Chains A and B, each alone.
Chain A
Amino acid sequence: MPKTLSAAPAPASGGPNPSPRRGRTGFTLGALSPRGMSPRTLVIVLAVITLGCIAAFMTIDLRGNLSYALTRRGIRVGAMLVVAVAVGLSTLMFQTVTANRILTPSIMGFDALYILIQTGLVFALGSSTLLTAAPSLKFGVEVALMVVFSALLYRWLFTGGTGSLHLMLLVGIVIGTLFRGFSSLLQRLMEPSEYIVLQDLFFASFNQVEPLLLGISAVVVVLVAAVVWKLRKTFDVLALGRDTAVNLGVDHRRIVTLVLVLCSILVAVSTALVGPVTFFGLLVVSLAYQVVRKFSHAALIPIVCLLGGITLIGGQLVLERVFGFATALSVIIEFAGGLLFLYLLLKGSLK
């Protein structure tokens, strides 16, 4: 027992026989792929790439009024970073808790739920109430509702005791469809003027993010990220599977609820900022697992965040500067992520 536990954090300067798993991967793959890199080096390399992307994004083709252009670009970069961290972390946590590599909060309908709640609020209270309310208050109410609903709904789904992952996944997908259908029905029943207000709420692309909301979101995401970081060791234990984790003294039910709450906060933040992105989280977290050989959350957490930033900022940069598209990045991510999802299914990752 202690041997398996100590294998993960084995220090490089360990005893005369270091963990054989580490040594072997280091030799065979070290020269070819980043898998051989120690997590710390990897994080540093990725951080440098991220900074490079940000710098390029901020400075390429910079003309006209400098401070205006820089502020606008800064807001976009900030929004992308917030979304990258929110989506990446929520997917990582969700996958760890549900012990699989395919589920993501958005496939399970989390962001559809958020949109339904917003639509329901506008439908019930009218857009004027929502427009005149302070953005922070509105945001707080929405997030609170989202947290309560999703914790109830998804806890019921995950602790229902059937153990059939496929059934859970299918129910999640259908629930998502139901929420989306219900929102569009409500939107259809609204006054057209109210609908326009609502539409602006979901399709705020990276270009029209409100600085105040971005500030609040950034603070929220940083706070949640801090909690996640604090829990990193618990996640390592959870990753061993539900039964093992319970045997090792983890209060599984409590932690699942906590994770669902954290996920709903993160999903609410990212959806409020830029609208729903279904497969982005799947893409980033799968990439992270490809890159990291050491499955410790202390390594995974920063790597997921950085990879998310690189994908979004770098992707946007390439799309805008090379291909001349404005906002189609989410569509491309959707396509690539969808293919990846199918590939994972076919490979049999979801057993």
Chain B
Amino acid sequence: MSAPVLSRTAAAEQVPAVAVRRSKKPSETAWLVLGTVAVLLLAVVSLFVGVSEVSLPQLLAGNAEAWDLLWISRVPRTLAVVLAGTAVAVAGLIMQLMVRNRFVEPSTVGTVESATLGILVVTVVLPAAPIMLKMGVAGVFALGGTALFLAVLGRLPARNTLLVPIVGIMLGGVIGSVTTFFAYKYDLLQTLSNWMIGDFSGVLRGRYELLWLVAALTLAGYLAADRFTVAGLGADFTTNLGMNYKAVMRLGMVLVSLISAVVVTTVGAVPFLGLIVPNIVSLLFGDNLRRAVPWTALFGAGFVLVCDIIGRTIRFPYEVPVGMVMSVLGATIFLTLLLRTRKRNA
């Protein structure tokens, strides 16, 4: 009597796993639409926050000054926030898949620090270099830094989940100290702090368009998402499936490094974003990657929008760089995630 019951429950457990996912699909699309609407609302709020007055009545009345302000300053800024937020969060996700570690992102493995070092080197050697060249050099350095981290990772004694981010943070610290040393020597410490702390206050029309490049890179990351998942399962497994493991890893590294380099050169480092957004998405929606990427992008944009609005209002009319707000909020959320792990293990 009991056996059929048992088997029935076993079957019942298996079927819903598929069925639920299928039946959930429409409602999830609905959620996704809702999320997009929420982010759009945040973006609209972000358009109307600022020292100079831009209000709806003024715009409707056709106030030319208000429209100018909107197009030259506010819209570019909001776009920059959304683009950077999306890209950095997705870059974090890709990196986590490649390294197979939930506690890793470009700013905890030395990629961002390397990009900063790259910009510093160009600034010292060729002060008049065009921004594209600076970005290219930053990208090459970021690539080198990421490769160094992966090499170090391969030599770690045990593949310990928590050891990986520790090594990454320290590697970033070592690269950072080299950067500080040269910045100090060439009297560029102040310039350096502009790249170390993400800040959207300098964004105007003409100063953010390069971020569209990251949008393209993010899209590429989305299209290749499944490959990164497979690559995360290991070199042998990937090769067995008929994929070129090295090529996939190279693609991931290039995407992550270029995104970091472009974001650092245009708005500065945005800490913790790539770490916490993918984690929260994974907690809420599980690990199906195609599904996770849109959510990660959405949450990334929303999170940076919120932080930027906080930064602009907390000490009105002055502004606190978004990187600072983010490091406090991000570190707090990260700690909570870590301690949750601890509770689960205990």
- What is A's interface to B at a CB cutoff of 8 Å? 160-162, 164, 166-167, 169-171, 173-175, 177-178, 180-182, 184-185, 188-189, 278, 325, 328, 331-332, 334-335, 338-339, 341-342, 345-348, 350-351
A162 interface neighbour in B271, B315, B324, B342, Cβ under 8 Å: B342
Q: List 5 A-B contacts (CB under 8 A).
A: A181-B331, A189-B320, A332-B181, A335-B181, A346-B157
Residues of B within 8 A of A162 (CB): 342, 345-346
Residues 171 to 216 of chain B near chain A (Cβ within 8 Å)? 171, 173-174, 177-178, 180-181, 184-185
Is B167 close to A, CB under 8 A? yes
Is B170 close to A, CB under 8 A? yes
Closest Cβ of chain A: how far from B341's Cβ, in Å?
A: 7
- CB nearest neighbor in A for B314: A189
Q: Assess the B163–A335 pair: CB atoms within 8 A.
A: no
Closest Cβ of chain A: how far from B181's Cβ, in Å?
A: 5
Q: Assess the B170–A338 pair: CB atoms within 8 A.
A: yes
State A12–B160 Cα separation when bound (angstroms).
44
Q: Assess the B331–A171 pair: CB atoms within 8 A.
A: no
Q: Assess the B174–A342 pair: CB atoms within 8 A.
A: yes
Q: Assess the A181–B327 pair: CB atoms within 8 A.
A: yes
Residues of B within 8 A of A325 (CB): 185
Is B235 close to A, CB under 8 A? no
Q: Assess the A164–B170 pair: CB atoms within 8 A.
A: no
Q: Assess the B152–A342 pair: CB atoms within 8 A.
A: yes
Extra contacts, 7 of them, besides A160-B342, A164-B342, A164-B345 (Cβ < 8 A), are A161-B346, A166-B161, A174-B338, A175-B331, A181-B331, A338-B177, A339-B174
Q: Assess the B345–A331 pair: CB atoms within 8 A.
A: no
Closest Cβ of chain B: how far from A341's Cβ, in Å?
A: 5
Is B269 close to A, CB under 8 A? no
Residues of B within 8 A of A161 (CB): 346
Is B334 close to A, CB under 8 A? yes
Q: Assess the A188–B324 pair: CB atoms within 8 A.
A: yes
Residues of B within 8 A of A160 (CB): 342
Residues 114 to 163 of chain B near chain A (Cβ within 8 Å)? 152, 155-158, 160-163
Q: Assess the B170–A170 pair: CB atoms within 8 A.
A: no
Most B C-beta atoms less than 10 A away, residue of A169, A173, A188, A339? A188
Residues of B within 8 A of A332 (CB): 181
Query: Given known contacts A166-B162, A189-B315, is B177 in contact with A346 (CB within 8 Å)?
Result: no
Is B55 close to A, CB under 8 A? no
State A184–B198 Cα separation when bound (angstroms).
13
Q: Assess the A185–B338 pair: CB atoms within 8 A.
A: no
Residues of B within 8 A of A334 (CB): 173, 177, 180
State A139–B212 Cα separation when bound (angstroms).
52
- CB nearest neighbor in A for B343: A162
Is B103 close to A, CB under 8 A? yes
Is B166 close to A, CB under 8 A? yes
Q: Assess the B157–A338 pair: CB atoms within 8 A.
A: no
Q: Assess the A166–B160 pair: CB atoms within 8 A.
A: yes
Residues 316 to 341 of chain B near chain A (Cβ within 8 Å)? 320-321, 324-325, 327-328, 331-332, 334-335, 338-339, 341
Closest Cβ of chain A: how far from B307's Cβ, in Å?
A: 11
State A162–B173 Cα separation when bound (angstroms).
27
Is B165 close to A, CB under 8 A? yes
Residues of A within 8 A of B178 (CB): 335
Most A C-beta atoms less than 10 A away, residue of B173, B339, B341? B173
Q: Assess the B157–A167 pair: CB atoms within 8 A.
A: no
Closest Cβ of chain A: how far from B288's Cβ, in Å?
A: 27
State A175–B332 Cα separation when bound (angstroms).
8
Closest Cβ of chain B: how far from A333's Cβ, in Å?
A: 9
State A334–B181 Cα separation when bound (angstroms).
10
Closest Cβ of chain A: how far from B138's Cβ, in Å?
A: 21
Q: Assess the A169–B162 pair: CB atoms within 8 A.
A: yes
Query: Given known contacts A174-B334, A181-B328, A350-B163, is B315 in contact with A188 (CB within 8 Å)?
Result: yes
- CB nearest neighbor in B for A189: B315
Is B254 close to A, CB under 8 A? no
Is B169 close to A, CB under 8 A? yes
Query: Given known contacts A177-B331, A338-B173, A345-B167, is B185 in contact with A328 (CB within 8 Å)?
Result: yes
Closest Cβ of chain A: how far from B152's Cβ, in Å?
A: 7
- CB nearest neighbor in B for A171: B338
Residues of A within 8 A of B165 (CB): 170
Q: Assess the A174–B174 pair: CB atoms within 8 A.
A: no
Q: Assess the A348–B157 pair: CB atoms within 8 A.
A: yes
8 closest Cβ contacts across the A-B interface?
Answer: A181-B327, A166-B162, A338-B174, A178-B331, A348-B157, A334-B177, A335-B177, A331-B181
- CB nearest neighbor in B for A172: B166
State A338–B168 Cα separation when bound (angstroms).
11
- CB nearest neighbor in A for B171: A342
State A180–B177 Cα separation when bound (angstroms).
16
A346 interface neighbour in B155, B184, B185, B325, Cβ under 8 Å: B155
